[in-house]
A and B are shown apart, each in its own frame.
Chain A
């Protein structure tokens, strides 16, 4: 796609030595600041233009009520696959057992990283006062725990049945009713709206965006990263969990998990869409993020439990922070010297 080529061209201009990433990587904020400002501005303009075109197209599609709108980041075949699984979301021993178990890792990961920035003021509700967007929320498996921790969470997913399941499940719990809400849309829809209605809805900005087990199903990651940036407050956090693109992840993640052990329904993942942490990091940093940590995750199918691990060869979690606009300029000067010495 044109977007991808453009992005890669830009990346090629300012090449960086990909650091060997294995295990936890801590990056100083603002490292990728200096040369990207111009690039970002250019791209913003370009994408805005294409975004508006998309918006018109979407507006027409929405009126006709079709669910296959906004194809920019979502693969249509992926949509079909999830529709059939929608009602099985909340069976903890069912098809999505591994996702349920993953909450033991991803909820603390999100909670602790957010608490580092926003000190908890309410005991019992550590994330109170924060607004979180859960992209690709599915049946709400991750949305609900975050809501219980006090955050106001918006879960979005292009599959209407999943959103229906999520809404129904959360409607029974009076504590969740005020905390979580759901919408059938994609991230572009949301960020498109935000741009349009920014003046009235100044509050339509999120403290954190969570995209767990989502990026390996997307067609266009550049736009995804850009949209994440546009819906996040400056300094806001982006949490991604996804699968690495390695031989090991093909062997274990696809052959073993899907075909032999059937931990994951067959055909869920396409190895081509997996992305390595290095590439994801590059992508994010080119979109104004600073990656704070990357941590490998391992699933033990015997015990049905996840654990943190040093190797990011299969699954990993990533935390990035959207750079503040003011920080970009102030931190750019020291970076000038370091970048100059690299190139």
Chain B
């Protein structure tokens, strides 16, 4: 009995006719079906179907590609990463630090280490820090986070360029499993019908600027906060622009110091953060109103440095009322918990800034109401965009990568179609459950600290002091942020 499927096109032909005689369809449809069969024959040789295409080769997209490429259950699957920009190779780490940095949590470090990129990062450049001090400008409330006895690192500050370069290096070594196309801009996506119609291609089609069309069983959108994948799918997104921009720069410290503390002070205009890069340099992330941000960019170097120092050290925002109330709270709380609380430290002073490192970019919040559709999943900033005040943006993205990889791996081991909706729904549920509370907390913090109205200040002062005195609560917060 002949059942070799090299005869599939013929079988389809026969099948088509069988359907037609039953349904008395017009001649046009007959011709169309035969044309489809003809196209199918020519396509089957030319257009291979990828198992996964990842659109966007930033930190999160590249990490996704590495992660899938290294999974044993996905061996033999065809994976493709599309990146519109050039390949970012870093043979030698440049002496100057780059402006955009991320705080990598231990959870993200574990993921990166699992995919073999963390090794490259530590060989290139990264700065672990052990403590974080967050304090108010309107009162002297403060909170510090650190691990027990300052032994373990809390998190790591890594330049974004280094993360991407490390992932690129790792992808080079995975070239059997993962293909990467650089300078490939996507111009069009064609979405498949959810239920397979007899004469339509059931895969997602991706059309590149050079005219090539690729087909895939699963498309992963990792194309950033203005994701084309998300827009083309028409996924409703909750988003608003904060009335803030972030000014970033590389700071030269006045004198070398151990520099293993991350500092963040909440000014009424927005938080200013200093993140350690080395013993002599730190990274500045100053979120403030658009007007102030523009002014800051225009200042000469000396004035800019003065502004930074003053923002960290100056106490002019504190009124007497708040000061009294603050010390009263502290007294009351220390009566209840005498051993808790921490002395306030001051961040190192800044002497200069790295040349040409002053940049500003607008801040906003965004959350896609759906992370998935039929044969599509969104990860990273394409799904969620947050304020940098908590240093969580990249970590949420890496969390998406870990979760989706694990679900795809399991699906492959169960012989499932990778684009099937069931495990994609699980991904969406799990990540939304984690991301939404985090995003809500960050947004709340931003709003809470955006004012210097006395009642709000008193509230947050008390809240911050109380939290600072409860090690159990602090540990919970750190655990949540480290995932």
Chain A residues packing against B (C-beta within 8 Å):
90-92, 103-104, 107-108, 111, 122-126, 144-149, 154, 164, 167-169, 171-175, 177-178, 180-183, 185, 193
Contacts and interface: CB of A to CB of B under 8 A. Distances in A.
Interface of B: 1, 3-5, 8, 11-12, 15, 18-19, 40, 44, 48-49, 72-77, 195-196, 198, 201-203, 217, 412-417, 420-422
12 contacts: A90-B196, A92-B422, A122-B76, A124-B77, A125-B75, A125-B76, A144-B417, A148-B412, A149-B413, A164-B15, A164-B18, A177-B5
B415 A171 contact: no
Nearest to B200: A172
Given A154-B3, A168-B15, A177-B8, A111 B195 contact: no
A114 to B, nearest CB: 12
Given A124-B75, A124-B76, A171-B12, 19 more contacts: A92-B421, A103-B416, A108-B414, A111-B414, A122-B76, A123-B73, A146-B415, A149-B413, A164-B18, A167-B8, A168-B15, A169-B196, A171-B11, A172-B203, A177-B44, A178-B5, A181-B5, A183-B1, A185-B1
Contacts of B8: 167, 171, 177
Contact of B12 (A103, A168, A181): A168
A107 B420 CA distance: 15
A178 B5 CA distance: 7
A174 B45 CA distance: 9
Nearest to B8: A171
Contacts of A177: 5, 8, 44
A182 B12 CA distance: 13
A24 B203 CA distance: 41
B187 to A, nearest CB: 24
A153 to B, nearest CB: 10
B76 A103 contact: no
Given A123-B73, A124-B74, A124-B77, A145 B414 contact: yes
Nearest to B203: A172
Contacts of B201: 172
B276 to A, nearest CB: 41
B15 A167 contact: yes
A318 B195 CA distance: 33
A145 B3 contact: no
Contacts of B77: 124
Contacts of A90: 195-196
Nearest to A147: B415
A177 to B, nearest CB: 5
A103 B72 contact: no
A126 B413 contact: yes
A178 B76 CA distance: 15
Contacts of B44: 174, 177
Given A164-B18, A172-B201, A181 B73 contact: no
B18 A123 contact: no
Nearest to B19: A164
A211 B286 CA distance: 66
Interface centre among A147, A149, A154, A185 (most CB of B within 10 A): A149
Nearest to B11: A167
Contact of B412 (A122, A124, A147, A180): A124
Contacts of B11: 167, 171
Contacts of A175: 49
A126 B72 CA distance: 11
B436 to A, nearest CB: 22
A167 B10 CA distance: 12
A162 B77 CA distance: 29
Contacts of B74: 124
A115 to B, nearest CB: 11
Contacts of B5: 171, 177-178, 180-181
A147 B412 CA distance: 12
Closest 8 CB pairs of A and B: A145-B415, A124-B75, A124-B76, A148-B415, A149-B415, A123-B75, A181-B3, A123-B72
A168 to B, nearest CB: 6
A46 B195 CA distance: 49
A144 B49 CA distance: 16
A200 B200 CA distance: 40
Nearest to A169: B196
